[in-house]
A and B are shown apart, each in its own frame.
Chain A
């Protein structure tokens, strides 16, 4: 494996990356209030008295949010802290009604864990996770509603976030991309976050520093709120290059917060360490420490689904699916669910995996649909694959049937019946057509018999055409060989 290196005037540089991923917890209501959390609602329609920080309002922890964070911790093999505590992070901003964010600085809910990534074309690598803590999201300022005023939308205020903090273990944009992808996959499997980066329910703060290989860590910058995997990689690439150029030009990297501009592909300074807030963290006196009992933890663990790594292993080792197919089919929980629904309907695993990878993905790609929007159900797909397996349909007939299924939504069996697309192994009929083809092409028969083997394909094609594509190709081959070699 070749390491990712930045070529500078003074030699090669290594980039060191750590990510803080903010993942919105999937739950009906907010972390400390009963208000709803649906995306895209009219501004300020999902705001309780607590979210608006009215006088005398108090937070009460939402058990479901805690449970989801615990399940996430378990999914990354992390230590779950049975005793944790909420702290207040104090700062003033118009999108922060309380004047503080309830977070967990000193005693996070989830401690050390790790996930394994497999960047394309590289060896698997374990990335350490330092902690996951639970905190409130802020509201949103809208600056485009009025020429001189800003509006505040508090719908997101108080929504539960998990902050998943990695170790500075990544060494290339590709590794960072693979890490976010894998993390998102796990979150979706667990069901603790929908992972929709474009809707902001998952976003990353990207910590980047550079050093000469083998040296101590350099000074890092933090690029905030990067909201796609592509941008995470682009921000790292830009930021690493910028830092190398800066150092080589005799400058020093300052510890600061930066913003990524996706239009220009650059990062820009937001504020330096000197103007950083003093957040005056202290334990939230409105809340008691969070203490989890064994029954709660056991339930959380028991509720975890089979996770991507385990599933992929099972696909390969138990179902006999190729490594590549297993990887693709398990990367996304929706795909795995769809595929397993096919198996539950009786489809043979290997055939089903090949069909999903080639036929289904091809069709969905063409239609611009995700697998959960597939016009063909897993049950219908299982029937179709079954018809190939039992010889009713040839591969090419199956393709035709699938096209009709996509258009009409009809079941494969019905289409085969109605349109007479059943493949035939009727040797008499096939032999009759072969005889006609040979009669019509005496010169080709002679050439073939004279040693031009390649012409065999021509006879297959002619025979299949004469049979309107419905002949069993294996039978055709067989009978043609006999007839021609006679």
Chain B
């Protein structure tokens, strides 16, 4: 019998429905894999009891013919999602020990669809980071290794690095991620898996610890495009508790999956050919163009002239919102409280926040506070909002020429842990291809498309029009079908 942990979401769903194996067997296999994978530090909390309960419910439901869309599928949940009664920290010391009395809309929907939870996944603290090194609970180690025999520990990407590792290391068939400037797509690319950030407003933000509200969007990460489509269907939908949630029906994405791109025009934005981009990335991009042509698409060159301003714009808007969103962690009501002897309120705030937040979080709070300050607001925040509108307009103009865009997901393969952590700018540059679509609120997906010379996965990104997740999924599927990406990390842990 095949190892059940090699199965993806669709295969588990179908196998449980067919009675090929029980949901309980699936849960047990993944629970064992989670335990074995502890050296990777992908999980902050393990919740085998939750996964088992859901599996048993699935097995009962099967006998009664009442299977749900995700019955029998155990998932990993990024620690940014509030889970009722299960510690939720956003990988920050300031929320250590915090057990919400509420369930996020997304996890409610997933559990309501029959899924179980294997545990909570490590991440960059408050989703701020691209390597998972900002977690207060130690970095995640990617299951991948270079083929140079050096055994350097590699970054799993970030901020959803625990999520990417859990899928790549076969500890979960699917996981939730969140993406503010690339936090689903870049780690997916780094670990050879698929991940989609839907249109802003598709997935409710209620119960998701906020980083930058106008950018934060949840999405699935899984083995392949179909699995992402299945999960995204379960996660999406209008939520009256989120004022930015879109009140529109959720399409049946899985049903309409098709790698046939006849009649589709795919744009290749020339501004994404950045200085110093490795030749391998350029070659992968060309390969991707060929895949899409083979699938019937017409390729057109397009221009997104304000692309170069996207990163600076993002690093004004996201920290500005974060500086305000994170003000609630003040030691008064929950989480860490550091109250030195004789301290007054201001001193309690200072001690608590100095202690509870990591360096990167503090850096962004300070940047955000600065750009919103009197005298600087117009020069930074107001201007950034204007540029954001121009970036969105770039995309609108591109849509006059094409239906989708193809770009690399990240400018490099996974780097080694510690390699960029001392240089925030180098780290921020990792998001250069993912940030523009975040600023425009567009759906975008990373799909594995090849390996670099060191044997590490590389991803391609498909960006679509607002609400055209179907187009994004289909083009990604066309790449997936042709890339034949079967590489997986050897189990060294």
Contacts and interface: CB of A to CB of B under 8 A. Distances in A.
B373 interface: yes
A61 interface: yes
B98 A55 contact: yes
A94 interface: yes
Nearest to A49: B102
Interface string A55-87: 111111100000000000000000000000000
Nearest to B374: A278
B327 A288 contact: no
Contact of B381 (A54, A58, A100, A282): A282
Given A99-B324, A280-B324, A285-B213, A58 B206 contact: yes
A374 interface: no
A60 B241 contact: yes
Contact of A54 (B100, B214, B320, B377): B100
B349 A90 contact: no
A152 B334 contact: no
Contacts of A93: 345
Contacts, number: 99
Contacts of A281: 372, 377
A58 B241 contact: yes
B206 A57 contact: yes
Given A54-B100, A56-B210, A90-B372, A287 B328 contact: no
A97 B82 contact: no
A89 B169 CA distance: 45
A53 interface: yes
Interface residues of A, number: 30
A296 interface: no
B242 interface: yes
A88 interface: yes
Given A56-B208, A90-B327, A285-B212, A97 B244 contact: no
Contact of B328 (A55, A58, A60, A61): A55
Contact of B373 (A97, A98, A280, A286): A280
Interface in B179-233: 205-210, 212-214
Interface string B98-136: 101110100000000000000000000000000000000
Nearest to B95: A55
B320 to A, nearest CB: 6
B210 A100 contact: no
Interface in A275-300: 278, 280-282, 285-288
B324 A90 contact: yes
Contacts of B369: 280
Given A54-B102, A55-B88, A288 B373 contact: no
A288 B244 CA distance: 6
Residue among A58, A60, A93, A152 having the largest count of chain B Cβ atoms under 10 Å: A58
A56 B208 CA distance: 5
B429 interface: no
Contacts of B491: none
Interface of A: 49, 52-61, 88, 90, 92-94, 97-100, 150, 152, 278, 280-282, 285-288
8 closest pairs, A vs B, by CB? A99-B327, A280-B372, A285-B213, A285-B214, A53-B328, A56-B207, A55-B209, A286-B213
Given A55-B82, A90-B323, 15 more contacts: A55-B88, A55-B95, A56-B207, A60-B242, A60-B243, A94-B345, A97-B332, A97-B333, A98-B327, A99-B327, A99-B330, A280-B324, A280-B369, A282-B324, A288-B243
Interface of B: 81-82, 88, 90, 95, 98, 100-102, 104, 205-210, 212-214, 240-244, 320-321, 323-324, 326-328, 330, 332-334, 345-346, 349, 369, 372-374, 377, 381
